[in-house]
Amino acid sequence: MSTTPHSELSKSMMSTSTRSKLKMRTLAAMLALLTMSAALTFGYGAALAGDNVTEDQILKALAPAKKPPPLTRGLSIGPQTETDPAASADEGKFVQTIRGRATRSLSTSEREEIATIAKTKPNIDLEITFDYNSADISQKSMPSVQALGRALTSPDLKGSTFIVAGHTDAAGSEAYNQDLSERRADSIKQYLVTKYNISGPDLVTVGYGKSKLKDPSRPMAEVNRRVQVVNTENKTAASK
């Protein structure tokens, strides 16, 4: 039986419609797989962010910057950032004045000067958690604190002066958070001095409360509740 042009057109339209539906289903399946993959990846990254840091990670983060080797005749390198000897000397004198000081004895201007030094020195942020409304280190974070103790007593770092700065999130009043951050910084110092025999004056503790949020766009986020450790690269004469 012969086929009319009309029936041929109908079959062609049905075939096109079927192909379109198959393409849509294929795309939907691919999108579903991509969404699932993204969800798994995000979850894995979030889990890594909460993991305890290792001694090696801390050592690498706090390692003093290596000075460029002296140039031989005929060799040159690009522009280098020059350090002002007078500024370095003043910085060293300031660090000596805060060694051994009680956390609460630091003035606002001294805390700000410490923060300025921290910006240019090797440092690491540790997500150390504490028991609720206290300065007691949680068991969950103890491995990170122990890794810090081992790192600071390593031959590469031992004898340097380190800043241990406590930070909170934005919950609560300024006075409450300032006190809490200072007590938590003191708690870390006490543990390191007691368990790892680190000299007390080598650890300068300071609290910033909620004044220096790591993520100001999310003031209540956990990432803001942290302890920052800074290597001032200022060694005592006995350890040089």
In a domain, 15, yes or no: no
Over residues 8-18, the pLDDT tens digits come to: 545 555 455 55
Over residues 57-83, the pLDDT tens digits come to: 999 999 987 765 555 555 444 444 456
Rg (CA), the chain: 29
In a domain, 119, yes or no: yes
Series of mean pLDDT values for 10-residue runs along the chain (240 residues): 52 56 58 40 33 91 75 48 73 94 95 94 91 86 96 95 95 95 96 97 97 94 91 69
In a domain, 3, yes or no: no
Number of domains forming the structure of the chain: 1
In a domain, 199, yes or no: yes
The structure's pTM equals 0.71
Separation CA 216–CA 229 (nearest Å)? 20
Q: What is the CATH number of the domain that holds 154?
A: 3.30.1330.60
In a domain, 213, yes or no: yes
Tell me which residue range forms the domain holding 219: 55-62+86-239
Q: What's the burial of 214, exposed, middle or buried (CB within 10 Å: 0-12/13-18/19+)?
A: middle
In a domain, 37, yes or no: no
